Chains A and B, each alone.
Chain A
Amino acid sequence: MYYLKRILFMIPLVLIVSFLAFVFVRSLPGGPFDKERQPASPEIKRNLRAKYHLDDPKWKQYALYLGGLIRGDFGPSMKYRDHSVNDIIKQGLPVSMTLGLLAFCFAQAIGVPLGFYTAVRRGHWQEWLGSFIAIVLVSVPALVVAPLLVMVFGIKLGMLPVALWDSPKHVILPTAALGLYFSGRVARLMREGMLSTLKEPFVMTAQAKGLSHSAVLLKHAFRLGVLPVVSYSGPMLADLLVGSFVVENVFRIPGIGVSFVNSFLNRDYTMLGGLVVIYAVFLLLLNLVVDFLYTVLDPRVRYT
């Protein structure tokens, strides 16, 4: 019941988000057709804007947008005028999702064991090393990691392709570039979750009952310890799924991550409108999944 309500709630939320995006981007100076070189007469510009209803009253523009939204048609892109926003998203979203999912798995695969290990080896040198690694990962952004990886593995060692997205080999460097930063975050959160869980009375009880060290840790503590990671996974996955600007830019990956920033900077109103809706839907769905996972992992959690 709770979940059904949440899903129904998504509709007004997405509408609110799209409305906010609509208002925000139009509040800024500059339009999609402003260029360094103006056309020879102002009439041309006027006609162009009229074609895309940019000089109509705002409420009318929003009504058009809403109408399209309901039909699932976001309209033509104002910057890439030969294509519709739907086309661009249809081509780019699966690519971004692939990259995002792979980076997500990469981050989890490295971050969860790293954080786990760091928490378990409390007080030993491994803890400091693990923390050190995690914090360094978090401090070096993708915009530094990506070119570094390309330089080392792509050019100096020549092992992997430097850019584009044509084969499984092309997937490796972008995944690493995108996932490393997040693996650091996951590791830190995992460690924190484990540390607080290991202090719980039930852990001590289990140990007192004679359960071996590893069984206790893995079975019971992990389920609770992983909660902060799960909380963070929702927004993290949403961010990853719609693509990372830097990684897609550096590796020239044909996804929509670059479009988020570019459509805003280009004042491509229709494109931004479409992307914002997609992202909002993903985020809300993923948050729902995360909330569901809470109840699975920690039976004490209850939603009213």
Chain B
Amino acid sequence: MMQVAPKITAAPGPLQSPGRRGWLRFRRNSPAMISLIFLAVLLALVLVWPWLAPYPYEKVSEAQFQGPSGEHWFGTDVHGRDLLTRVFFGARISLMVGAVGAGVALLIGVTWGAVAGYVGGRIDSMLMRMVDILYSLPSIVIVVVLITTLQDVTRRSLARIAGDGVASWTPTLLLLAGLGAVSWLTMARIVRGQVLSLRNRAFVHASIALGASHTRILLRHIVPNIAGIVIVYLALTVPTVILYESFLSYLGMGIQPPMASWGSLLAEGTSQLNVVRVYWWLLVIPGGLLVMTLLALNFLGDGLRDALDPKDVRD
């Protein structure tokens, strides 16, 4: 049941800063806290795994298609490679993919959309039409063209700057760049829509009448009010970009073998889905972990949003 007015308690507690209040609110949000802990543990495991791993992720063996067992907790794949190790290796790549996608969406997408929505007029038109142009091109064209044309140049420059080891990461780096390039477009559109709606509100007009500068309005009034939708959309961009990488792997154009990402593991697992025989662990385990991580991310995002929200009535 929605509360109409804030409850008036008899003895108000000590004054707290908005930050502290936000943290307390966040702490009370159990799914968000669980998610935070889960993600922290996952991150820790992913970072520490190379030292803990009993098998290297690319080690081929005769133990093909074994189900989960004492020796291989998550089973093995077609080459007899240990799935547990590959999943943790893949986590690293997928988290990077998600981070890049979210980062680009946040930095470029939000700024682009906010400027377009706030300034309006010609600038809005121009910025949004540029978004439309990039959107109209099939994303696979953009990604593949980026990867293919910059391949040699990047490889050579990296080899010169940081040696061959780093240069061998070129395909992955370019894949990340390509994914980033297509992940900010929808965020820009959404933010622009929200900002447009906000810009014409009474409180904005009032602020302008009072002589507030545009920066102040943007930071004080607009940004907090779009924080909600931005966080939710960020939490949606991460799965989008990870799953797009999965789609590229399904086409055979994602992460280069023998490396793995959750997306490529998912694609591999799906190829095992058929009516005759299913090696379920190849699909369920990476898929399940992906779902869990994305759930955690989303609940975390919700918790953050609630904590930061200036107008949340649930207090």
Direct contact of A and B (CB under 8 A): yes
Residues of B within 8 A of A234 (CB): 189
Asked if A95 is an interface residue, CB under 8 A from chain B, the answer is no
Q: Are B138 and A279 in contact (CB under 8 A)?
A: yes
Asked if A138 is an interface residue, CB under 8 A from chain B, the answer is yes
Interface size range on B against A: 35 or more
Binds A, one of B51-59, B170-178, B195-203: B195-203
Asked if A199 is an interface residue, CB under 8 A from chain B, the answer is yes
Known: A140-B287, A276-B138. A264 touches B144 (CB 8 A): yes
CA distance A143 to B311 in the complex (A): 40
Asked if A17 is an interface residue, CB under 8 A from chain B, the answer is yes
Asked if B111 is an interface residue, CB under 8 A from chain A, the answer is no
Across the two chains, which residue of chain A brings its CB closest to B128? A287
Asked if B266 is an interface residue, CB under 8 A from chain A, the answer is yes
Asked if A237 is an interface residue, CB under 8 A from chain B, the answer is no
Across the two chains, which residue of chain B brings its CB closest to A295? B196
Q: Are A140 and B190 in contact (CB under 8 A)?
A: no
CA distance A287 to B302 in the complex (A): 28
Asked if A159 is an interface residue, CB under 8 A from chain B, the answer is no
Q: Which A residues, 99 to 135, have Cβ-Cβ distances below 8 Å to chain B?
A: 122-123, 128, 131-132, 135
Asked if B62 is an interface residue, CB under 8 A from chain A, the answer is no
Across the two chains, which residue of chain A brings its CB closest to B275? A155
Could you mark each residue 220-241 of chain B with 1 if its beta carbon is under 8 Å from any beta carbon of chain A, else 0? 0000010011001101100100
The interface residues of chain A, by DSSP majority, are classed as helix
Binds B, one of A23-31, A47-55, A69-77: A23-31
Interface size on A (CB < 8 Å)?
73
Q: Given A140, A143, A227, A287, which contacts B247 in the complex, CB threshold below 8 Å? A: A143
Q: Are A231 and B239 in contact (CB under 8 A)?
A: no
Q: Are A199 and B313 in contact (CB under 8 A)?
A: yes
Residues of A within 8 A of B279 (CB): none
Question: Which of A123, A141, A207 has most chain B Cβ within 10 Å?
Answer: A141
Across the two chains, which residue of chain B brings its CB closest to A134? B298
Q: Given A204, A227, A235, A303, which contacts B4 in the complex, CB threshold below 8 Å? A: A204
Asked if B137 is an interface residue, CB under 8 A from chain A, the answer is yes
- In the assembled complex, 29 residue pairs joining A and B whose CB atoms fall closer than 8 Å, in A order, are A13-B132, A13-B133, A20-B133, A28-B144, A28-B145, A28-B149, A131-B299, A135-B291, A135-B295, A139-B239, A139-B290, A139-B295, A141-B266, A147-B273, A189-B232, A199-B311, A227-B197, A228-B194, A232-B186, A232-B189, A234-B189, A235-B186, A238-B135, A264-B138, A276-B136, A280-B136, A284-B136, A301-B200, A304-B121
Residues of B within 8 A of A141 (CB): 243, 246-247, 266
Residues of A within 8 A of B200 (CB): 300-302
Could you mark each residue 160-191 of chain B with 1 if its beta carbon is under 8 Å from any beta carbon of chain A, else 0? 00000000000000000000000001100110
Residues of B within 8 A of A132 (CB): 295
Known: A28-B149, A138-B236, A276-B138. A287 touches B225 (CB 8 A): no
Q: Which A residues, 7 to 40, have Cβ-Cβ distances below 8 Å to chain B?
A: 9, 13-14, 16-17, 20-21, 24-25, 27-29
Q: Are B194 and A24 in contact (CB under 8 A)?
A: no
Could you mark each residue 161-185 of chain A with 1 if its beta carbon is under 8 Å from any beta carbon of chain B, else 0? 0000000000000000000000001
Known: A144-B266, A246-B250. A294 touches B4 (CB 8 A): no
Known: A28-B145, A188-B236. A140 touches B291 (CB 8 A): yes
Asked if B283 is an interface residue, CB under 8 A from chain A, the answer is yes
Could you mark each residue 280-315 of chain B with 1 if its beta carbon is under 8 Å from any beta carbon of chain A, else 0? 000100010011001100110010000001011110
Closest 7 CB pairs between A and B? A280-B136, A231-B193, A300-B200, A141-B243, A139-B294, A192-B232, A304-B121
